[in-house]
Structure 1
Amino acid sequence: MDKRQRILDFFLNHIKESVNLTQDEVELLYESIDIVELKRKECVLQPGQVSKHMRFVVTGSMRCYYLDLDSQEHTLQIGIEGWWINDLYSYLSGKESQMFVQAIEKTTLVQINSEALERLYVKIPALSTFFRIKIQNAYVSLQERMLEQMSIQVFDRYQKFIKEYRNIEQRIPQYMIASYLGVTPEFLSYLKKKHSM
Structure 2
Amino acid sequence: MHQAFFDYLIKFGSEPLSEDQKALLRQVFLPSRLRKKQFLLQEGEQQKYFAFIVKGAMRMYMVDDKGIEHIVRLGVEGWWMGDRESWAMLTPSLYHIDAWENCDLLLITREDALNMMKQVPAFGEMARQLDERNNIANNRRLTSAISGNADKRYIDFCECYPELLQRFPQHIIASYLGVNKDTLSRVKRQHYRK
TM-score after normalising by structure 2: 0.90
Counterpart in 1 of 2:71?
75
Find the aligned partners of 1:32 and 1:68 in 2 and give their Cα distance.
Answer: 35
Shift of the alpha carbon at 1:140? 2.0
Find the aligned partners of 2:49 and 2:128 in 1 and give their Cα distance.
Answer: 15
Residue 63 (structure 1) aligned with residue 59 (structure 2): yes
Counterpart in 1 of 2:93?
97
Counterpart in 1 of 2:190?
194
Shift of the alpha carbon at 1:22? 2.3
Find the aligned partners of 1:103 and 1:132 in 2 and give their Cα distance.
Answer: 26
Shift of the alpha carbon at 1:121? 3.2
CA contact (8 A) 2:39 2:97 kept: yes
Shift of the alpha carbon at 1:126? 4.0
Shift of the alpha carbon at 1:37? 1.1
| Mapping of residues 3-82 of structure 1, within 5 Å | 7-19=1-13, 20=15, 21-82=17-78
Shift of the alpha carbon at 1:125? 4.4
Aligned residue pairs total 191
CA contact (8 A) 2:37 2:99 kept: yes
Residue 110 (structure 1) aligned with residue 97 (structure 2): no
Name the aligned partner's letter for residue 80 of structure 2: W
Shift of the alpha carbon at 1:12? 0.8
| Mapping of residues 96-175 of structure 1, within 5 Å | 96-175=92-171
Measured on the aligned residues, the alpha-carbon RMSD in Å equals: 1.8
Could you tell me which of 88, 108, 131 is aligned with 2:84? 88
Name the aligned partner's letter for residue 24 of structure 1: D
Question: Identity over aligned residues, as a percent?
Answer: 30
CA contact (8 A) 2:12 2:123 kept: no
Shift of the alpha carbon at 1:195? 3.2
Find the aligned partners of 1:97 and 1:61 in 2 and give their Cα distance.
Answer: 20
TM-score after normalising by structure 1: 0.88
Find the aligned partners of 1:168 and 1:121 in 2 and give their Cα distance.
Answer: 29
Shift of the alpha carbon at 1:113? 1.5
> Gapped runs of 5+ residues in structure 1?
1-6
Find the aligned partners of 1:63 and 1:118 in 2 and give their Cα distance.
Answer: 25
Find the aligned partners of 2:179 and 2:173 in 1 and give their Cα distance.
Answer: 9
Shift of the alpha carbon at 1:142? 1.0
> Gapped runs of 5+ residues in structure 2?
none
